[in-house]
Amino acid sequence: MSPHRLAIATAAAAVVLPALLSAAPGAAAKPLPVPSPGPAHHLTVTISDTGNAADGRTYDLYCHPTGGSHPSPEAACAEVSKKTVWGADPFAPVPKGAACTKIYGGPATGHVEGRWSGRPVNADFSRADGCEIGRWNKFAKLLGTPRN
């Protein structure tokens, strides 16, 4: 570095550095608040009409930290987390007018409610046609696989 550029850099540092160090204490970077883990990631899942009384159930799932009465909470939390994309509803219904195969997957129904990523969830699931079966299968670890 030339002596002239060195002198300019030194002068700039002499002006900027004290200004940065004398910033108001309140101007210092503050850590972001940590979201509350329970309410932000809690789902209640109800499965019914499976044709097998042993398959009908209701359970709670807590994620971040993992817990609840779900039979596989780690797998279900990982599945829902993987399906979560910023700005999109992972539990969104099949779009109106979607072309769906007329395959019937059985009478099983599911309902998921609670909060995920701090947003309310109120979603119904069925196996009435190919689109609904695909949507159910997208959350197979959360909803389970009916035996019908």
Q: What CATH number should be reported for the domain holding residue 105?
A: 3.30.350.10
The answer to the question of residue 59 being in a domain is yes
pLDDT, position 148:
52
CB 114 within 8 A of CB 48: no
Beta-carbon contacts of 14 under 8 Å, excluding residues fewer than 6 positions away, are none
Q: Which two tokens stand for residue 124?
A: 């119904």
The answer to the question of residue 72 being in a domain is yes
The answer to the question of residue 29 being in a domain is no
- Residue 117: CB atoms within 10 Å: 15
The answer to the question of residue 146 being in a domain is no
Torsions phi, psi for 82 (to 5 deg): -65, -30
The answer to the question of residue 115 being in a domain is yes
pLDDT, position 69:
94
Length reported for the chain: 148
Beta-carbon contacts of 73 under 8 Å, excluding residues fewer than 6 positions away, are 61, 62, 63, 66, 67
Nearest CA among 67, 56, 132 for reference residue 93: 132
Residues in the chain predicted with pLDDT less than 50, given as ranges, are 4-24, 27-28, 30, 32-38
The answer to the question of residue 127 being in a domain is yes
Q: What is the DSSP letter of 76?
A: H
Query: Which structural domain range is residue 130 located in?
Result: 42-86+100-139
- Residue 47: CB atoms within 10 Å: 20
The answer to the question of residue 27 being in a domain is no
Q: Which two tokens stand for residue 59?
A: 């359970």
> Is the whole-model pTM more than 0.85?
no
pLDDT, position 147:
63
pLDDT, position 94:
94
Nearest CA among 60, 33, 62, 58 for reference residue 48: 58
Q: What angle do CA 55, 59, 62 make, to 5 degrees?
A: 140
The answer to the question of residue 17 being in a domain is no
Q: How many domains does the chain have?
A: 1
